[in-house]
Amino acid sequence: MSRPAAIIGVGQTKHAKARADLSIPGLCREAAGRALADAGLDWPDIEAVVIGKAPDAFEGIMQPELFLADALGATGKPMLRVHTAGSVGGSTVIVASHLVESGIHGRVLAVAWEKQSEGNAQWGLAGGRSGGIGAGGAFAPYIRAYMERSRAPEYIGWQVAVKDRLNALKNPYAHLQLADISLEKVKESPMLWDPIHFLESCPSSDGACAVVIGDEDAAAATPRPPAWVVATSVRSEPSTFPGRDAVRPQAGVDCAHDVYRQAGITDPKAQIDVAELYVPFSWYEPMWLEGHDIAGAGEGWKMVDSGETDLGGAFPVNPSGGVLSTNAIGASGMLRMAEAANQVRGQAGEHQVDGARVSLGQAYGGNAQYFAMAIFSSTRS
Amino acid sequence: MLTGVTSSTGVANLIYRPTVPDSQTVTTTLEFPYRRSLGPVVGGFMRALGEHRILGVRTPAGEVLVPPLEYDPRTGAALEELVDVGPGGVVGSWAWVAAPTRRHPLDHPFAFALITLDGASTALVHAVDVAGEGAMRAGMRVVPRWRDEPQGRITDIEAFVPETGGQG
Amino acid sequence: MPATDIAIVGWAQTPAVARTDATEPQLCMQANLAAIAMAGIERSDIGFTCAGSCDYLTGGPFAFVQNLDAAGAWPPIAESHVEMDGAWALYEAWVRLQHGDIDVALVFGSGKSSPSDPAELYPQQLDPYYLEPLGLDPASIAALQARALLDTGRATERDFAEVVARSRRDARTNPNAHVRDEDDPERLLAAPYTRNPLRAHDVAPVSDGAAAVVLATARRARQLTEHPVFIRGIDHRVDVHQPGMRDLATSPSTADAARRAGLGDAPVEVAELAAVSSPQELIVRDAMGLGDGVAVNPSGGPLGANPVMATGLIRIIEAARRVADGTARRAVAHATNGQALQHNLVCVLEGES
Amino acid sequence: MADETMMDDLVTLTYEELLPPNTVRFAEALVDGRILGQRCHVCARVYVPPKGYCPLDVVLLDADDDVEVSDRGVVTGFTIVAPVRYYGQTKTEPFVYASVLLDGASGTLGGQDITGVPTDQVHAGMRVRAVWKPKEERTTKGQSARGWGNVEGCISSFEATGEPDVPRAEFEEHVI
């Protein structure tokens, strides 16, 4: 009963610390307009709009999708607003894909955004109170536990930080463009949340991302190759409970196995050509490689160390530069999906992985408790 | 059998507590000075207020939307042609606010109104400052009363007031 | 419209009150447990869970994360969340069930409005450039909409009072409602205006509460109950945001959603409408083309209890209840999102034919 | 030249909430020098502070499920936070942010300061005990109404006891 769905258009803003030249509708429309153009469509061609973003307090607008609906051409159409913390951009793509797979709509626009320069994410994460620890403070203990558990050397985190920033130099949309990044610079950057250095952390960005998801007819009519959505999954678990493994959350394991099963993947490392993983702090690259059973226990950091996750490596991770180079929180998860889709469409530009046919997009959120994952393919499975 | 409103079938530990006295309360304030970038259309509108001008935006169909948006809200099409409207206009629907809140633009009773400015195809929501609700009626003509020191906000119009000179 | 029939097989709501000391996850857990018990399922039967809530009601960014505790998310579950009324969570779950790989879904909506003052909070829900700085509050918007309706000549202030009176009378027999005050239209009309042309009683209260629904595919529903309530049609449409750029006296998005949900295909006996002001009920009735023979808001509706973010889902529950108990063969529920009926959902329910 | 017109928007919202009963009991016990948890009557896990339910078994818990736990425990994880400046932030100096698994509890108490040793000697596995404020300074104020209370009104920090470290294997599953 489930019909095929494909990403047929992708758009994103030029991400920056502050897009002071744009209003919030302007930011979202820059991404959405590019996605429509990529798909060869115009606003009236869209049947429904799904909007995702992280907490409303980041911009101080309650349910901002209400004032954004008509900016995104949704008047007279169904509109949904998804909020699953940091994973929301990924969840938004999945909700939109369900609208197509279910046969309800033929062409759906999904938009995710955050304009962090209008407020302060640290303030928001602290619930508006003093003494906030930021996402880094929340995740640092898990990172430390991973380091102890896996016996990974501390330079692994520096390596990821350098790799993703070098990849970002090949991505004109990426916020950070750090041409002079080096292991030494990462190591010498201030310690923000021990063991996380400043340069091992994501920036705070203004940005939006949009994708058009279409059915078979829509995919056939699009000017550029589609990325078929061959598997999607979401998994959530409570934020804290006695016995929870926050280093390798079960929800992340289950979510990964669900998409592998749907896509017929038995050896993810061999069968997936490229992955865009939500890595806001450098250590999350090896943590997710292990947490999603791409690498065995204690083996994820060795993939980093051997260069396997480099753009030219056997299993490239975040060729776009990832969250470490652009973090507009609500958009970040969708950017993973959009970049993964563009890889199998052959539309990733300078950071294209040669011959990519199968890609993985992943987003996580909350206290590493919400997961959204999808597998894209250049061919219908 | 589906019966009952709040089903408690098989649930032993429903511990719903109704309203209780205010013995244990906690008060928190969520406060932040947001700083918004406005873009060309909203920004143009706000800047014009400082010159005591009100702008709308023209659609391809020839309508003039006030307040101006970067897009046609019915189609999503991009809009950018700003044009002067008003500053006078006509009140449509209105609501009398007998007791203003902390957030309202005036600290004494006033009306919120939908005001169609001269040359506009849509209505602007703003405050109308009159002595009492008896002075309000649909079709009345109003003009803006400008704030002395513009702040680049919609409240640079303090309120609309009845047009003097016997019009309407 | 997809072919897969989905049915409502369980539901529950906490009694809505003006203020409770229970936390939102505690409220949600009560509703979820009761709905699951009523459906006669195990938590492990649930293939998808979707929640609806709003962080800003209690002022906690990520407040919804704690509500996950109430969903039974261990072992981990397939779950989503909308920053919308639970009726839209039900919509998302209904879409998910169309895939055919799962057969049961849990939906819940919740909100604690008591910590905040709507007049202070809700300007934050409006356009941040043109409307929020004016402090435009929900009662004022409702009053602008009310006068727009009065000016068409299609309704009078007495009609508003009649809606309030009927709602309060009906709320009296609803153990989940909490506004059961004055119900004489004459005396209601004698009350002072708070936002001329509206009086305090014309605008819904805000309440604390949660509600939950269990959905199942038709095959599974028939195994679970002798009286499944089928979703015959569900659709939602959004309208223009700026109050001055649309006709507040009509609701084209409601009319369109009703048409697409197949409301007009056969008569309904009961309509549960998420009208949060008395004029809104008249506008929604008109948009749906409901005749005088339709019982509107027999639960008392939002004027009797309005746990924001659950109010729309409760309309679906109240309509389903009347189909299940035989009061109605066919019923319609309406939910709304935003101010002045900006975004509307229509759900048509029927029993086994 | 791009239009970079800006608009300031100070948003101030006030919330007044009732504390849930589980938090009221927790706060009152703290003033009395006791740390309360709630033991799930299904799985026997002890939640500190009490939430009023067990999220794993999805059962509601009430006063009958309250249990007292020790004011001693082990650091299971920590970080040192260099505070980021933002509106309303009063912290300016780096601070320890540790999770403490109290003896008798199944889950940790997050966000605790660790004293009695230099900051760079804080480590997972070290034994600590609560440093109680003088009785007259203890308060029930400062609790959150969101369902998970805190100890700040009555306990100023946890200090190292000097006992031998606890092996990681004994708390591996309680790093949060």
Q: Give me the domain span that covers residue C15.
A: 6-116+206-224
**Inter-chain touch A63–C82, beta carbons under 8 Å:** no
Which tokens hold the place of A375?
């597998």
Instruction: Tell me, yes or no, whether D70 lies in a domain.
Output: yes
Q: In this predicted structure, what is the pLDDT of residue D176?
A: 60
Backbone angles phi and psi of A213, in degrees to 5: -110, 130
Question: Nearest-CA distance from D40 to chain B in Å?
Answer: 13
Give, for all 353 residues of chain C, the pLDDT tens digit.
Answer: 566 899 999 999 999 999 999 999 999 999 999 999 999 999 999 999 999 999 999 888 889 999 999 999 999 999 999 999 999 999 999 999 999 999 999 999 999 999 999 999 999 999 999 999 999 999 999 999 999 999 999 999 999 999 999 999 999 999 999 998 889 999 999 999 999 999 999 999 999 999 999 999 999 999 999 999 999 999 999 999 999 999 999 999 999 999 999 999 999 999 999 999 999 999 999 999 999 999 999 999 999 999 999 999 999 999 999 999 999 999 999 999 999 999 999 999 999 87
Tell me the sheet residues that pair with D99: D77
* Number of domains observed in the structure of chain A: 1
C22 at D interface, C-beta within 8 A: yes
In angstroms, the CA D113 to CA D132 distance is: 13
Q: Above pLDDT 70, what percent of chain A?
A: 99
Is residue A1 pLDDT above 80, yes or no?
A: no
Q: What are phi and psi of C274, to 5 degrees?
A: -85, 50
Q: What is the CATH number of the domain that holds C26?
A: 3.40.47.10
Residue D45 lies in a domain: yes
pLDDT mean over A149-164: 97
* pLDDT for res B19: 46
Has residue A341 got a pLDDT over 50?
Answer: yes
B32 within 8 A of A128, measured Cβ to Cβ: yes
| C62, C125, C252 member nearest A366 (Cβ) | C62
For residue D131, the enclosing domain spans 21-174
pLDDT of res. C2: 60
pLDDT in tens, A81-113: 999 999 999 999 999 999 999 999 999 999 999
Q: Is residue D138 part of a domain?
A: yes
* pLDDT value of position A129: 82
- Global pTM? 0.97
- pLDDT of amino acid C254: 98
Show Cβ contacts of residue C187 under 8 Å, excluding neighbours closer than 6 positions: none
Work out the average pLDDT over A24-35: 98
Which domain covers residue A105, as residue numbers?
6-121+204-221
From C334, C340, C264, select the one nearest C301 (Cα to Cα): C334
> For an interface test with D, which of A24, A240, A244, A248 has the most D Cβ atoms less than 10 Å from its Cβ?
A240
Query: In the prediction, which pLDDT does D175 show?
Result: 66
Query: What pLDDT sits at residue C214?
Result: 98
D5 and B152 within 8 Å at the Cβ level: the answer is yes
Per residue in D100-159, pLDDT (tens digit) is 999 999 999 989 999 999 999 999 999 999 999 999 999 988 888 876 779 999 999 999
B71 touches chain C (CB under 8 A): no
Report the gap between the CA of D56 and the closest CA in chain C (Å). 6
Count of A-D CB contacts under 8 Å: 109
Is A83 in Cβ contact with C61 (below 8 Å)? no
D107 CB neighbours in chain C (<8 A) are none
d(CA B151, CA C74): 52
Structure tokens at B168: 């309407």
Q: Given an 8 Å threshold on Cβ–Cβ distance, is A75 in contact with B75? A: yes
Domain-embedded: residue C340: no
Domains identified in chain C, total number? 1
Q: Does C17 touch chain D (CB under 8 A)?
A: no
Q: Considering the domain boundaries, does residue C53 fall inside one? A: yes
Q: What confidence score (pLDDT) does residue B4 get?
A: 28
d(CA C179, CA C169): 10
Place D4 in a pLDDT band, splitting at 50, 70 and 90: confident
| Residue with tokens 């009601």, as numbered in its chain | C57
Q: Residue D129's pLDDT is what?
A: 98
CB crowding C293-303: b at 16 or more within 10 Å, else e: ebbbbbbbbbb
User: Which chains touch D (3+ CB pairs under 8 A)?
Assistant: A, B, C
Its sign, for the CA torsion C177, C183, C185, C189, is: negative
Whether B125 sits inside 8 A of C130 (CB atoms) is: yes
Return phi, psi of residue B140, to 5°. Answer: -70, 145
Give me the residue from B13, B24, B32 closest to D60, CB to CB.
B13
Instruction: Determine the longest span between alpha carbons in chain C, in angstroms.
Output: 58
Which residue in the set D11, D14, D140 is minimally distant from B32, CB to CB?
Answer: D11
A283 pLDDT higher than 60: yes
Query: Which residue matches tokens 């008060």?
Result: B27
| Percentage of the residues of chain D whose pLDDT score is greater than 70 | 97
CA distances from C178 to B29, C142, C162 (A): 28, 21, 19
Residue C30 lies in a domain: yes
pLDDT digits (tens, 9 = 90+) for C226-264: 999 999 999 999 999 999 999 999 999 999 999 999 999
Report yes or no on D160 lying in a domain. yes
Calculate how close chain C gets to B91, using CA atoms only, in Å.
Answer: 11
For residues C133 and D1, which has the higher predicted lDDT (pLDDT)?
C133
Q: Is the dihedral of CA D84, D85, D89, D93 positive or negative?
A: positive
Helix (H) or strand (E) holding B90: strand B89-97
User: How far is D42 from chain C, CA to nearest CA, in Å?
Assistant: 14
Neighbours of D165 (CB within 10 A): 13
Handedness of CA B50, B56, B58, B62 (dihedral sign): negative
- A140/D4 Cβ within 8 A: no
Alpha helices in chain D (DSSP H): 21-31
Distance, CA of C299 to CA of C165 (rounded, Å): 13
pLDDT along chain B (168 residues), means of 10: 30 38 76 96 97 97 97 97 98 98 97 98 98 96 97 97 73
pLDDT at C51: 98
Interface of D with A in 5-24 (CB under 8 A): 6, 9, 11
Longest C-alpha distance within chain D, in Å? 68
Residue D147 lies inside a defined structural domain of this protein:
yes
Condensed to tens digits (0 to 9), the pLDDT of residues A171-217 reads 999 999 999 999 999 999 999 999 999 999 999 999 999 999 999 99
Q: What is the CATH number of the domain that holds A57?
A: 3.40.47.10
Tell me how many domains chain D contains. 1
Cβ neighbours of D119 (radius 10 Å): 14
**CB contact at 8 A, C60 and D146:** yes
Of B91, B126, A17, B96, which Cα lies nearest the Cα of C127? B126
